[in-house]
Amino acid sequence: MKLAATTTDHLTVHTAPIADPGDLIARLPGPGALAFVHRGQGVIGWGEAARIAVPGGRDRFTAAAARLAELFAGADVHDPLRLPGTGPVAFGTFGFTPDSPGNALIVPRHVLGRRDGAAWVTTIGADPAPLGLVRPPADPGPLTWSDGALGAAGWQDAVAAAVARIRAGGLGKVVLARDLYAEAAAPIDDRVLLRRLADRFPGCYTFACDGLVGATPELLVRRSGGTVESLVLAGTSARGTDDADDAARAAALRASAKDLHEHAYAADMVRASLAPLCDELVAPDEPEILALPNVMHLASPIRGRLRSERSVLDVVGALHPTPAVGGTPTAAALDLIAELEGMERGRYAAPVGWIDGRGDGEWGIALRCAEVGGRRARLFAGCGIVGDSVPAEELAEADNKFRAMRYALEG
C-alpha cells in the first residue's frame, strides 16, 4: 500500500476547544471541501496533510485502517478533549466493488467539529486555520444535461431483464443504478452543493470527500467507543402533496409486501453481519418511516456493543455491500449489476465518511450524490428491484432520487 504524504510522515496534531463556530459549512474557506455533517453537527476539513491511496481488493477496508493506524501511531498528538472526531482525522471514500476506482483516505490540515455541545479545531503543522473565506462560493451557472450509460428506455429494459432473472430464481433482489451528467457554465464549487443539500435535507448526512458530494439518508455505521449504530433504509415511496396524502402513502409503504420484502433483505443482512462482532444487538421488529423532503423510506435503526476492539473501518468492511445497495445473494446480485447497468459505479453506493485516531467515526453510503470535477458532474440514482417491480415505477423512483442533486446544482 502506498502512502502519499503531502507534508511529512510525522504529523504534529493540535486540538483545542473553541466557542460554538456556528454553521460548519459556512466556515469552509475554499473549494475542495471535506465534510460529514448531520443537523449541524459533524466535522469539516480543508487542506491536505497526508493521503493514503488504497489499492483495490476485498481487504481494502482493513488494509486502509491498518495503514492509517500506523500513520497516526507515529503522530505527536495534543488532544485535551478526546472526543469522537478530535485529534487526527481522516476523511475517506471507497469504490463500490473491490476493483472500482476511488479508494482514498485524506488527512486534512485543518478540522472544525461540533458534537453534543462541544466544539473544537484541529490543526496539523504550524499554519493557523484561515479565519475567513479564501474564495467565496460561486454558483455554477446554467447547466446542460445528458444521459449517462443508459437512457430512460434502456434502463427500463434493464429493470425488466432483472425482474425476469429474479422470477426465474437464483436471486431475490438486485439494485440497479442510473447515471446522469451535468455540464455547468463555470467550475462547480462543492461548497455551493453542500450548502443547498444541508439546508434542504437536514435529516441526511451531507458529505464531501475528494470530489464526491451528496446527502445520504443511510448511515452505514457510527462507532463511538464500543458502541456501533446503523440505519438501514430499503423500500421507498414519493412524498405526498399534503399531510393527508403523506399519511396515506406512509400507510401504503408500511403495508407494501414488495417494499417490506425488499427491506427485510437489507435489515436481516446488517443484523447478520453485526452479530459476530457484537455482544449485544438491538433492532426493531418492524421498520419505521423516515420522511425526507422528496421521498420516504422504510427504516430500521440497529445498535450494538462491540465484542472486541475494532475500528469503524473494520465494521464498514463487514457490512459493505448491503442488500440495500447491491442485492441478495450478494455475489449473484453483483454479477447481474455488472451485466445490466452498463457502467462503472465508481464510488456510488460505497462507504464515505471519517475515522479518527481512536477508531471512532461515521460512515454513510454514498447515495443522492455526484462526482464533481471542473464544470462537470456525474449524478447517480438506484432502485431495489424484486420480482414484482414495474420498470416504469422504478424509473419514476430513480427520477425522484435524482432530484436531490439536481436541486443542489440548479438551486
- Report, as residue numbers or ranges, the catalytic residues: 173, 218
List the grid coordinates of 307: 465484542
- Nearest Cα neighbor of 286 from 272, 267, 270, 303 is 267
Contact 381, 401 (CB under 8 A): yes
Contact 233, 297 (CB under 8 A): yes
Contact 373, 347 (CB under 8 A): no
Measured between alpha carbons, how far is 243 from 67 in angstroms, rounded to an integer?
50
Measured between alpha carbons, how far is 176 from 341 in angstroms, rounded to an integer?
6
- Nearest Cα neighbor of 281 from 295, 294, 267 is 267
Measured between alpha carbons, how far is 136 from 69 in angstroms, rounded to an integer?
35
Element containing residue 224 per DSSP (H, E): strand 219-224
- Nearest Cα neighbor of 120 from 68, 90, 80 is 80
Element containing residue 391 per DSSP (H, E): helix 391-410
Q: Please provide the DSSP assignment of 323-375 as one string.
A: TTTSEESHHHHHHHHHHHS-S--TTTTSEEEEEETTS-EEEEE--SEEEEETT
Determine the residue type at 43.
Answer: V
